[in-house]
Structures are given as C-alpha cells and as structure tokens.
Structure 1
C-alpha cells in the first residue's frame, strides 16, 4: 500500500513538473513569436527608413545650394559696403566740381 501511495505521489509530482515544464515551453514559444513579429515589423520598416534617408539627403543638397547662393549674396553686399566710402568720395568730388562750374558760369553771365 505504501508503494501505491508513493507511486501516486510520484506521479502527481511528475505531472506537476510536466505541467510546469509545459508552461515554460508555452512561454518560450509565445516570446519567440513576439520576437518573430518584431523582426518582421522591423524588416518591413527598412524601405520607409531608406526613403526617409533619401528625402533628407535631397533636402540637404537643396539647402547646401541655397546656402551657397546666400553666401554669394552676402559677399556681394559686403563688397558694396566696402566700396561705399570710395563711391561717396568720388560723388562728393563730382558735386564740388559741378558747384565750381556752376559758380564759374554764373560769373561769366
């Protein structure tokens, strides 16, 4: 009788262990499926990411061209600013010359 009870207890322990093991197997399968779905999702994201990179590179190229144009415009305006005193000086000399000519012509009249 003790052997039967012992065997029954052993079977119950074995079944409990098998149930626990089966739960672990199911848990690992579920986690493996989740990882598989995540891998598929990430692999499907690749074309979107590549497209975004291409779009950003085109935008960077356009901005670089615009930056180059703005740099040229700044250089042209700075050159005008540097030439400004010379041009003003020349115009003042011309104004003085015209004033002298006007005075000279008035004296003739």
Structure 2
C-alpha cells in the first residue's frame, strides 16, 4: 500500500509542478504580448517623430533667416548710430554757416 500512496503523492506533485509551469507560460505569454504591443506602438511612432524633426528643421531654417535679417538690421542701426555724431557735426556747421549768411545779409539790408 505504500507504493500507491507514493505514486499518488508523486502525481500530485507533478500536477502542482505542471500547474506552476502553465502559470509561468501564461505569464511569459502575457509579457510577450505587452512587449509586442510596445514594439508596434514605437514603430508606428517613427513617422510621427520623423515628421516632427522635419517640421523643427524647417522652423530652425526660418528662424535662421529671420535671425540673419535681424542681424543685418542691427548692423544698419549701429552704422547709423556711429555716423550720427559726424552727421550732427556737419549739420551744426551748416547751421553756423547759414546763421553767418543770415547775419551778413541783414547787415547788407
């Protein structure tokens, strides 16, 4: 009678091991499906990412052009600022000359 009990215990242990193995298989299958879904999602995102990169590169090019234009405008304004003292000096000389001419003409009258 000892042999059938031991056989029964072995069968119970085998069934328990089989049940545990099935749970592990199910767990791995579930994780495999999750990873598969993540891979599909990330692969589908590739075109969106490439589109975003292209859009950002176009924007960068536009901003570079705008920056170049602004740099030119700043240079032009700085040039005006540098020329301002000489222009003012010339205008002051012209004003002085006109004032002298006005005085000279009044004396003649």
Residue 50 of structure 1 aligns with which residue? 50
Whole-angstrom distance in 1 between the partners of 2:80 and 2:44: 56
Q: Confirm or deny that 1:106 pairs with 2:106.
A: yes
Residue 19 of structure 1 and its aligned partner are, at CA, apart by 0.4
Unaligned runs of 5+ in 2: none
Residue 84 of structure 1 aligns with which residue? 84
Residue 38 of structure 1 aligns with which residue? 38
Whole-angstrom distance in 2 between the partners of 1:54 and 1:86: 49
Whole-angstrom distance in 2 between the partners of 1:46 and 1:68: 33
Whole-angstrom distance in 2 between the partners of 1:101 and 1:33: 98
Residue 19 of structure 2 aligns with which residue? 19
The normalised TM-score by structure 1 is: 0.99
Whole-angstrom distance in 1 between the partners of 2:81 and 2:72: 14
Residue 3 of structure 1 and its aligned partner are, at CA, apart by 0.4
Q: Confirm or deny that 1:96 pairs with 2:96.
A: yes
Whole-angstrom distance in 1 between the partners of 2:37 and 2:107: 102
The secondary structure found in structure 1 opposite 2:15 is: helix
**Coordinate RMSD, CA, aligned:** 0.4
Number of residue pairs the alignment of both structures matches? 109
